[in-house]
Amino acid sequence: MSAMKRGRRLASLLLAASLGLGSLVGCQSESGKAAFVGDTTISEDRVSEVLDEVLAKTPTQEPEPAVSGSPAPEAELPVTRQEVVDLLVSVELARRVVKEKNMPPAKETTEPGEIADALKVAGDSEYTKLWAEWLDLQTVITENTPRAFLTDEGIMKVYGALAEAGAIQPGLPVAQVREQFGAAVFAEAAILVSTSLGAEVEKTDTKVNPKYDPVSAPMAVGTQQGPIFYDLPYISSDLVTDVSL
β pairing state of 207-208 and 33-37: antiparallel
pTM (two decimals):
0.78
In angstroms, the CA 94 to CA 96 distance is: 5
* Distant-in-sequence, close-in-space partners of 129: CB < 8 Å, separation ≥ 6: 112
Reading the chain (245 residues) residue by residue, the pLDDT tens digits are: 433 343 334 434 444 333 333 333 444 456 789 999 999 999 999 999 999 999 999 987 665 555 555 554 555 788 999 999 999 999 999 999 999 999 999 999 999 999 999 999 999 999 999 999 999 999 999 999 887 677 788 778 878 888 888 878 899 999 999 888 776 677 777 777 888 888 899 899 898 898 998 888 888 777 777 777 878 777 776 665 544 44
Q: Is 131 in a helix, a strand, or coil? A: helix
Q: Domain locations in the chain?
A: 3-58+79-241
Give CA–CA dist 38/204, Å, rounded.
4
Q: Diameter of the chain by CA atoms? A: 61
